[in-house]
Every structure is written in C-alpha cells, then in structure tokens.
Chains A and B, each alone.
Chain A
Amino acid sequence: MNLMEFIDMGGYGAYVWSSVGLALTVLILNVVTARRAVKVELERLKRRYGNEPTQGAS
C-alpha cells in the first residue's frame, strides 16, 4: 500500500483523518489540562503557605 492510498482511505480520508485528529486532540487536552490543574494548585498552595506566619520550629 502506498502513502497516497493510505491518506485517501478509499475516498473516506476526510472522515477517517478528522476522527483520528479529533481523538488525538481530546487525549492530549486531557493530559495537558489534568497536569496543569495539579501544577496550578501546588503553586497556589505554595504562595498561600508562604504568606502565612511560620509557627513553631524555625
């Protein structure tokens, strides 16, 4: 099978590739947003604790 045939998908290329592209986009966005949510929260907590007066041990 040559590359052009693979891309054409027997005339269904636009449908198949847009589905695959959409799926990969959803997967990547899931990873990016989930990881960013943890990072943002850790940074927020760091700032919050940093502003609090330290208690007890130096």
Chain B
Amino acid sequence: MWTWFHKLSSPPHFYRLSGTMIPWFGWLAAALIIPSLYAGLALAPADYQQGDGFRIIYVHVPSAMLSLFVYMFMATAAAIGMIWRMKLAHAVAVACAPIGASFTFLALATGSIWGKPMWGTWWAWDARLTAELILLFLYLGYMGLRAAIDDTNRADRASAILALVGVVNVPIVHYSVTWWNSLHQASTLLKKGGPSIPPDMAIPLYGMILGFLCFFGAVSLTRVKREVLVREQNSKWVKDMVTSK
C-alpha cells in the first residue's frame, strides 16, 4: 500500500497513468450521461406536483452534489499536501478549483431556473442558496489567492489553509434544508428509509450523478497534467518527453 502510494505520488508516473485513465473516465462519463439524460428527459414519468418541470433535477442535483464533492476532494488533497509536503497533492487541489467553481455555478443557475416556475422567484436569501453562493466565493477566493501569490510553495500553503477553513461551509450546505426552515425542498435521495422517488425517476438520476463523477475524473486529471508540467518544467523527464515528440 505504501509503495503504491509512493509510486503514485511520483510525478512522471502519475503523468503517464493520467494519460491512460483520462479516456476511460471520459468515455464512461459519456456512456452514462447521454442515456441517463435521455431517460430523465423523455422516459421518466412526470412528477405529480411539478409536472415536467421537475426534470431540471437531472442536471441540478448532479451538479450540486459535485460542487460539494469536488470541494471535499480539493480540501483533502490540500491537507495531504500540507501534512506530507506532497507537491502532487497540491497540484490536484489546484486542478479541482475551476471545475468545482463551474459546477457550483451550474447548481446555482439551474436552481434559479427551477425556482422561478416553482417558487415564483429566481433567487431568495435562503439558507441553502446562500451557503451554496458562499461555496462559489470560496472556490473563486481560492483561485484569486493563488493568482495573487507568485511563489508556488507559498501559494500552495496559503490556498490550502483557505480551502481547509472553507470546509465548515460544506456541512452547512448539506444540512441547511434540515436545520433551517428552507424554501428549498429536502433531499430526495440521501434520507432515512431510502430514496423517496420511484426507480424509473431515480435510475436516470443515479446515472447522471455517476456520469458527472466520471466526468470530474477525466477533466481533473487533465488539469493535473497541466499543473504537473508547470511544476516539473525543470526536471529531466519533462524535458525529455517534450523534446522527443
């Protein structure tokens, strides 16, 4: 286990491994997202309260889940980078931020579009919505902080601290609908006694969530590759690889 971990943390090994993993994640994501989206939009029955409007769930919930998942992933990578001084872990954290920000934006935007017909408003200063907006600012703050510091090591440390402090917001987003009287409906999937939707509605949703996770795998590894190239540009393996092509 330790040798595996050690090998994985070696940048050239990780770079090559990413090259083989990215197409797998990418095609798996496409194979999950395309049929699931079709099933969600065309095959799943309409909701008895929201009619066909509920179908926004198939893009909203996966992006909202990913916005939190990516944040935890980023903060974990940043923590590993801080504790074991592993540069590759910092590179992973850096790669996560723009992807997480884009999914947080998507969750907010699709939520807003869903809110208009169902709640009668695009936006409300509600606990769930506000916490998700703070999540977007955390991602943007993380990226801004890094952009403001020239020295990579200092940027790694400062941004890791910001990412770790921001972790307190993650349970707030998740439990906001339970803790406060929220306009946002409670979770349909993650609740006691199992999901409260029938299988023909739920399966496309699970497919979309898994597809989004694979998508994150492919895109984040691509961004890590770029980050590794920048950080390892003075090493022999990068030079050999670039000049031999």
Q: Is the CB of A12 within 8 A of B59?
A: no
Bound-state Cα–Cα, A1 to B215, Å: 31
Which residues of chain B are within 8 angstroms of A33 by Cβ–Cβ distance? 98
Which residues of chain A are within 8 angstroms of B46 by Cβ–Cβ distance? 10
Q: Chain A: which residue is nearest B117 at the CB level?
A: A15
Q: Is the CB of A16 within 8 A of B56?
A: yes
Q: Is the CB of B242 within 8 A of A26?
A: no
Binding site secondary structure of chain B? helix
Among A29, A38, A46, which residue has its beta carbon within 8 angstroms of that of B225?
A38
How many positions in chain B have a CB within 8 Å of any CB in the partner chain?
41
Q: Is the CB of B99 within 8 A of A30?
A: yes
Asked if A11 lies at the interface with its beta carbon under 8 angstroms from chain B, I say yes
Per-residue 0/1 for B34-62: is the Cβ within 8 Å of any A Cβ (1 yes, 0 no)? 00010001100010000111011001100
Bound-state Cα–Cα, A49 to B239, Å: 7
Q: Is the CB of A41 within 8 A of B55?
A: no
Which residues of chain A are within 8 angstroms of B102 by Cβ–Cβ distance? 26, 29-30
Which residues of chain A are within 8 angstroms of B72 by Cβ–Cβ distance? none
Known A20-B41, A26-B105, A41-B226: A10·B99 in contact at CB below 8 Å: no
B-to-A contact residues, CB < 8 Å: 26, 33, 37, 41-42, 46, 51-53, 55-56, 59-60, 63, 98-99, 102-103, 105-106, 109-110, 113-114, 116-117, 215, 218-219, 222-223, 225-226, 229-230, 233, 238-239, 242-243, 245
A-to-B contact residues, CB < 8 Å: 1, 6, 9-12, 15-16, 18-20, 22-23, 26-27, 29-31, 33-35, 37-38, 41-42, 45-46, 48-50
16 of the cross-chain contacts (CB-CB < 8 Å) are A9-B53, A10-B51, A11-B52, A12-B55, A15-B114, A16-B53, A16-B55, A19-B109, A20-B59, A22-B59, A27-B33, A30-B102, A31-B218, A37-B222, A38-B225, A49-B242
